[in-house]
């Protein structure tokens, strides 16, 4: 851990390099926090995909495209596929969030290990 005195003794190029390293580490941490909280773009727009599929099926049924009103069982296959896709996407999103949490935990442990113990 560098103190203000040690940083003050570094050359301007070294100080700039140190600042860039800290900036990158902070950006990475913010990105991981956003992903762990579920605030990334995939999580935000996920309900829109479900709604769009639902609207598509309602439109197909209402306007009787492909004579679906006569045989509504034809919709079971696409609806089933949409539900399976939804579940796979949800599981993938949960895995991404868990991986981000684990990486944040590793970063915190590494940061705590690099700090000197407080007496």
Give the chain's mean pLDDT. 85
Residue 17 lies in a domain: yes
Residue 118 lies in a domain: no
Q: Percentage of the chain surpassing pLDDT 90?
A: 29
Q: Examine the pLDDT at 118 and tell me if it is beyond 70.
A: no
Residue 119 lies in a domain: no
Task: Give 39-82 pLDDT, tens digit per residue.
Answer: 877 777 777 877 887 888 888 888 887 787 888 787 788 778 88
Residue 12 lies in a domain: yes
pLDDT value of residue 44: 75
Inter-CA distances, 110 with 6, 73, 106, 115, Å: 21, 56, 6, 9
Q: Which domain range does residue 87 map to?
A: 4-113
Residue 23 lies in a domain: yes
Strands, E, within 9-101: which ranges? none
Task: State pTM to two decimals.
Answer: 0.68
Task: Give 39-49 pLDDT, tens digit per residue.
Answer: 877 777 777 87
The listed range with the strongest mean pLDDT (5-9, 14-18, 39-43) is 14-18
Q: Are 50 and 86 in contact (CB under 8 A)?
A: yes
Q: Examine the pLDDT at 36 and tell me if it is beyond 70.
A: yes
pLDDT value of residue 31: 92
Distance CA 119, CA 101 (A): 30
Q: Are 53 and 82 in contact (CB under 8 A)?
A: yes
Domain count, the chain: 1
């Amino acid at each position: 851990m560098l103190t203000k005195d040690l940083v003050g003794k570094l050359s301007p190029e070294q100080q700039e390099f140190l600042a860039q390293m800290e900036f990158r580490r902070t950006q990475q941490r913010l990105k991981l926090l956003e992903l762990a909280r579920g605030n990334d773009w995939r999580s935000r727009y996920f309900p829109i995909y479900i709604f769009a599929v639902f609207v598509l099926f309602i439109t197909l049924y209402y306007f009787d495209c492909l004579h679906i009103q006569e045989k509504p069982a034809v919709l079971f296959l696409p609806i089933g596929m949409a539900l399976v896709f939804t579940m796979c996407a949800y599981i993938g999103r949960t895995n991404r969030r868990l991986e981000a949490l684990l990486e944040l935990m590793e970063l915190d442990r590494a940061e705590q290990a690099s700090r000197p113990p407080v007496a």
